[in-house]
Structure 1
């Protein structure tokens, strides 16, 4: 990709990738099933599906004759191994609660500083968006910032119409269209979303990353000779808004992570105790169950059900960890740097040398 494609000289390279968010296009390209499993799906539903897979797998192996269900020693040994592996979950829960509490506890001075910083952040947003009082609800707050970003960007359409260079004008229009499209996607996702669910964070997950900020700064710097003072002011505010939007996204991600980890520890405790108790009862009574039932096919179903039940804490931890890890990986490019987009700056330098 050369700079000439956009009518930009060697000192004014704006790469094609900066006019859009790479993460947005990743979201559109990836499998909807994959995204549902990793991010958007209800964790209880996914845990149920995983449990069904475990049950079907165990039942298939049992019906194939590879599990001697009439031998009490084999089944109880397997269940005992899983139950023994469940005990360390107490340590996991304590570690999770300690992590959450470390973010919540603090001395008055620390809490006052944190409060003042949050108030200053809200005042900054109110100043940039010309809003007397910014919304308190996270979804409404994000909507305010996104609407302001889109509004400021759309003002550049008139700027593009005034530009003498049609290729430069095309770059600006592409940037405006990219921001407008992402704004529509975010607004649609934010409708009826409540904090405490994944909807609010998911709405801005992968949107408005550093590529937009980079593009706005490039336009502001390299097209300054064709921009009026009002256009320059619009771009300055737009750059600040995009930066504040990145901060807001990371802030709500932090709050959501605290909620998610606290909820995970509660679910693990609720699930872990019955599985320990049920596994212990099964190990003590399975010999009697064999004598009472007698039918191997029924015993296969019983053993498969018990294995699925005692495996449930691992399943819960798995599905929640999937989402937490996915959120972390997709918001790793916080700030003005965009590590996921190949800007081919090295190639641009080589062009200059030539």
Structure 2
């Protein structure tokens, strides 16, 4: 298999130079990070609505629209708000469906609930054996932090055992691998310190910690250097692999709980917003038809225009609330997407512990194709029969057989013919 060389590329860059640090994996501006991850969803929704209203006001100032003429000559505004009213009612039905899905996963018989509790307790018992503790922490953040501390100590043990190896390639790869794991584990544990479940700090550990790559690399090191590993080195790799699997299982479980809580919050927020919006839009349609909204001038805009712009912004509130929640769920899913030992995140080219596919698929051959390509060319040394000599080749025999068959058929026809 093709390796990444000695871990350096152009100018002596190495894995330990910091290119793979977890602080670089979520390199975003503060505004984008707040919008997608850390910001309270209610505040994000209000900010988005404020941006929508400001955009409408700027457009109205740049290209004013005669709202009074639209109301007197057309039904455009009424039709627009009627469509928004239908959409708000549809959102309520969507909320009901979401709530049903969330509740259906929680409603179960007593046997199923007992199996869930037993599975959780068994998982914690196995974790306690691994971390050598009597009882594992009950809070998700503390539990993951304890697992990360175990990963940290086991990586140090692997690093120390690898230094005694006579294989220079093994020592180099383990040193680079251990440097990345130690940094990731420490920074992620610091992120989890004091975090409460339900807050984004717990889930942010999933954004940072690339356990899939670490698990894949540890397994590859175990298999590639299996013949030269000592008992202590093999035990250190095996323990680290088991602990990484525990961390991945726990992280995915807590992530699923976070998604359930976020969906429940989304459902309640949409209900709180949609019902007042439905009432407001209904009254607005009646007010527009009755021409009871006063029309005065406020600078370059009329009070009627300002009211319509404000009403349209309020009508978009359910969709903005939905957007505020969905963009975070989508961003978190993309950043925490993992498939066990399969690496879904791109790794730099100078990563010394990455593995490439070999050989090239264009060189894949079927067995018969490979045999035909490797077989030396054979020349036909069979001599041709001289003129007048009998042909003893298979072709001559086949020709004789054919002629014999024709002759027999002729004799048969003649013998079977009626006398004239």
Closer/same/farther in 2, CA of residues 252 and 4 from structure 1, 3 Å limit: closer
Establish whether residue 114 from structure 1 lines up as the match of residue 108 from structure 2.
no
Judging changes above 3 Å, is the alpha-carbon distance between structure 1 residues 77 and 68 closer, same or farther for their aligned structure 2 residues?
farther
Equivalent position to 1:278, from 277, 280, 283: 280
Aligned residue for 2:205, secondary structure, equals helix
Find the counterpart in structure 2 of residue 263 from structure 1: 265
Structure of greater relative contact order (alpha carbons < 8 Å, 6+ residues apart): 1
In structure 1, the gaps of 5 or more residues are 8-15
Which of 280, 289, 292 does residue 288 from structure 1 map onto? 292
Question: Is 1:320 equivalent to 2:325 in the alignment?
Answer: yes
Match of residue 99 from structure 2 = 97
Cα separation, partners in 2 of 1:230 and 1:350, compared to 1, 3 Å: same
Q: Per-residue CA shift, 1:170-216, capped at 9, x if unaligned?
A: 21111111111111221221122111122211222341331100111
Partner of 2:345: 340
Cα distance in 2 between the residues matched to 1:245 and 1:43:
28
Match of 1:3? 3
Distance 1:166 1:245 in 2: 30
CA 1:78–1:58 in structure 2 vs 1: closer, same or farther (change >3 Å)?
farther
Give the greater-gyration-radius structure (CA).
Answer: 2
Deviations 1:94-119 (A, max 9, x none): 11111111111111111111111111
Q: Say if 2:136 and 2:143, in contact at 8 Å, map to a contact too.
A: yes
Distance change in 2, residues 1:270/1:21 (3 Å)? farther
Q: Contact 1:211/1:338 (CA < 8 Å) preserved in 2?
A: yes
Alignment partners' CA distance in 1, 2:200 and 2:4: 43
- 1:122 offset after TM fit, Å? 0.8
The equivalent of 2:359 in structure 1 is: 349
TM-score (norm 2): 0.74
**Greater shift in the superposed pair: 183-192 or 296-305:** 296-305
Partner residue of 2:55 out of 40, 54, 57: 57
Once the 2 structures are TM-superposed, how far is the Cα of residue 39 of structure 1 from its aligned partner? 2.3
State the Cα RMSD in Å: 2.8
> Whole-Å Cα distance in 1 between the matches of residues 268 and 4 of structure 2?
58
Secondary structure of the equivalent of 2:324?
helix
Contact kept in structure 2, 1:246 and 1:334, CA below 8 Å: no
The aligned residue for residue 13 of structure 1 is none
Q: CA deviation at 1:226?
A: 4.5
1:79 counterpart SS class: helix
Using the TM superposition, give the Cα deviation of residue 26 of structure 1 relative to its aligned residue in structure 2, in angstroms: 6.5
| Equivalent residues, number | 341
Equivalent in the alignment of 1:81: 83
In structure 2, stretches of 5+ residues that fail to align are: 8-13, 348-353, 365-420
Cα 1:114–1:36, aligned 2, differ >3 Å: closer, same or farther? Answer: same
